[in-house]
Structure formats: structure tokens, C-alpha cells
Structure 1
Amino acid sequence: MRKLLLIITTFLSFAATSVSASAQQFPNIDTKDLNGRSLSLPADFNAERSLLLIAFEQEQQLQINTWLPFAEQLENAGQAKFYELPVLPSALRLMGGMIENGMRSGIPSQATRAKTLTLYTNVTRFRKNLGLGGKNEIYAVVIDRQGRILAVQSGAYSSAKAKQIRAAL
């Protein structure tokens, strides 16, 4: 019985290590911004550091908005580019045109549309790749040019969270 427990414990610790190691990289995903420009991520983030504001539900936009002044400040100072990433299940890709038209109608600015990249993907796998918790909150994620995850903060903006994000830049 002890041997079996030891084997199971060893296996689980190895499995946890594997998940942890793979949770440090932004996955390769092809998408379009709301202006229709095709992008291959993370390569087309095209910055030394990028701040990704990730949401899974439309109602989470209010929390995303709390991060925007900070994100704009970072970008204006040349510290990081920022993007908003609504992450939706792959099955919704069939309705992508309708979803994106709805988003475009609420975003008149071409510059903001260029920073809004809807990802249609396996949401659970995406969250695991980035080391994110549940999809009931938003995430501010810093990545480097290669897509390595440097920092993650969840929920609405706070000065303490901003300090952690800034430290990763």
C-alpha cells in the first residue's frame, strides 16, 4: 500500500510539474483584430513587453475598463503595448462575424479596435497554458516578445496589482 501511495504521489508531482511548466507560455493562436487585420499571436504582439487584458464574459468589460488608464500610461511611456483579449469558446467561431460586428458597433475608435483581439479557442486549455484560475474574473497578464508569461494579476485594477505588473516590465 505504501509503495502504491509513493508511486501515485510521485506521478502526481510529476504531472503537476508538467502542467506548471506548460503554464508559462502564451499559446500560438491566429486571430483578427476588430479592424479585420489578421494576426498570429504571440509573434504579432510585436513588443518587448505586452500587457494583455483578458476577459471571458461580456459583463467583465467593466473590470477591464478599470485597467485601461494604467495600460494607456504604460503604453504612452513606452513600457508595454496593451491589448484587450475577449476569449470565447471555439464553437462560437461560427457566429464570429455577428459577435465581432456587435463589438465593433460599441467601439467607434479604430485604434481601440486594433487593440481588441477576439480569441476563439479551447478556453480551459488557454487558461491552463497561461496559468490562469477560473473564468469568472479578468486577468492582466504581462508577456515578453516570445510569449513567456512574466506576471499575472486577477480582478479589477488596484495600485497593489499595478505595482506587481510594473515590476515585471
Structure 2
Amino acid sequence: MRFPRVSGSTLDGRHISLPGGFDGDPTLLVVSFQWQQRSLVDPWCSVADRLAERYDEFEYYELLVVDWRSRMLVGRTRRADLLSGDQHERMLVLRVNKRQFRQSLGLLGEETIYALLIDEDHVVRQAAGFPSSSTIEGLLSLLDDWDAARPTTSQSSNSTG
């Protein structure tokens, strides 16, 4: 399925168009709908940090999806100050019709978070909730296959264990 064309912003207010604004090939998106879901977001970001060290082209972002009518200004709250510099740079806020956004991606609800692997504007893998070992192994296998299929790669010097 294709990732919807939406606009978001960084916490410092810079606008970004998605999915074209994603730097990774592929890109992991950790999607949350409430700030209180940080306890589910952080483990995915730890996994993504390890993947980014292993795969040169891989990138990840956190997407905090808020309703377009919300008056919440995430970038100006004290909560955003609690993020580390790297987390702050990777977080994007999407002000969209949340119901339409969820439906376009087949996301069932807002009670949990979702991890979406995007390649060439398409969602190629999707997981909900806490990252399980089988989900992580599946991501590693998929990324290993993509990395091996690249015509030119600098990964040959990286260890695979």
C-alpha cells in the first residue's frame, strides 16, 4: 500500500512533505497518536538505532499524529524539551484527519503505536505495539536481502553478526 501524501513539521517548525521528505532507503516510521505512548515508541527507536548503525541507507523517524483541529503545540511544550537531541531531530508532527490517516494505512486504532517500513513510498512491512524478537528478525532478514541486492554497497566492511 502507498503511504499517503501528507505534510508535517519538525519540532522546530520546519515543514516537510511526506513521503518524499524521508531520507532513508528504506525508512522505518514509528507512528504514535499520543505523547503518553513514549513507553512503546522508545523500544522501537532503540531497535532503529541499531539498524541505522548496520545499514548505511536505512533511516527512521517518529511520527506523532495529532488531529488537524488540535490546538496542541508539541514543539513548544515542556515535553518536547525532555527529548534527546537525536530524538528531537527525528520527531515529526503530522496534523491530519487522524481517522482518514489511519484508514489509508489500515491502522485499527490509536491505543497502540505502529512501526511501518517504507520503501519507495510504499509500506512494505507493518507491526503494532512493542517490537517482538520475531518482528526484529524479520526486519533484519528483509534489510539484509535489500542490502545484498544493492549494486554498489559500502556494507561489505561491516560485520553481519
Q: Report the TM-score, using the length of structure 2 for normalisation.
A: 0.80
- Across the aligned residues of Structure 1 and Structure 2, the Cα RMSD in angstroms comes to 1.6
Q: Percent identity?
A: 27
Deviation at 1:69, TM superposition (A): 1.5
The equivalent residue for 1:84 is: 62
The equivalent residue for 2:49 is: 72
Distance 1:55 1:131 in 2: 14
Q: Cα distance 1:46–1:27, how it changes in 2: closer, same or farther (>3 A)?
A: same
Q: Whose helix fraction is larger, Structure 1's or Structure 2's? A: 1
Distance 1:59 1:151 in 2: 24
Q: Which has the larger radius of gyration?
A: 1
- The CA deviation string for residues 124-163 of structure 1, in whole angstroms up to 9 with x for no partner, is 1111111212111110100013x10100000012111212
User: Does residue 106 of the first structure (1) align with residue 82 of the second (2)?
Assistant: yes
Q: Report the TM-score, using the length of structure 1 for normalisation.
A: 0.77
The aligned length equals: 141
Q: Cα distance 1:166–1:125, how it changes in 2: closer, same or farther (>3 A)?
A: farther
- The CA deviation string for residues 27-67 of structure 1, in whole angstroms up to 9 with x for no partner, is 11112111332211100102210000001112211001111
Q: Cα distance 1:118–1:124, how it changes in 2: closer, same or farther (>3 A)?
A: same
Distance 1:159 1:79 in 2: 23
Deviation at 1:121, TM superposition (A): 0.5
Unaligned runs of 5+ in 2: 144-161
Distance 2:108 2:136 in 1: 19
The equivalent residue for 1:15 is: none
Unaligned runs of 5+ in 1: 1-23
